[in-house]
């Protein structure tokens, strides 16, 4: 989750991939 703060863009891509 720490990476999310450093790379918010990556998180969004991961969330879309998960869905």
Task: At 7, give phi and psi (nearest 5°).
Answer: -130, 75
Q: Are 7 and 14 in contact (CB under 8 A)?
A: no
Q: What is the pLDDT of residue 4?
A: 53
Q: What is the pLDDT of residue 3?
A: 52
Write down the residue that tokens 């863009």 correspond to: 9
Give pTM, 2 decimals. Answer: 0.09
Q: What is the pLDDT of residue 16?
A: 74
* DSSP letters spanning 1-19: -HHHHH-HHHHHHHHHHH-
Q: What is the pLDDT of residue 15?
A: 72
Q: What are the residues whose beta carbons fall under 8 Å from the beta carbon of 10, sequence distance 6 or more?
A: 3, 4
Write down the residue that tokens 């999310």 correspond to: 4
Give residue-wise pLDDT tens across range 1-19: 555 556 677 777 767 776 6
């Amino acid at each position: 989750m720490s990476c999310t703060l450093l790379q918010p863009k990556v998180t969004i891509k991961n969330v879309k991939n998960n869905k």
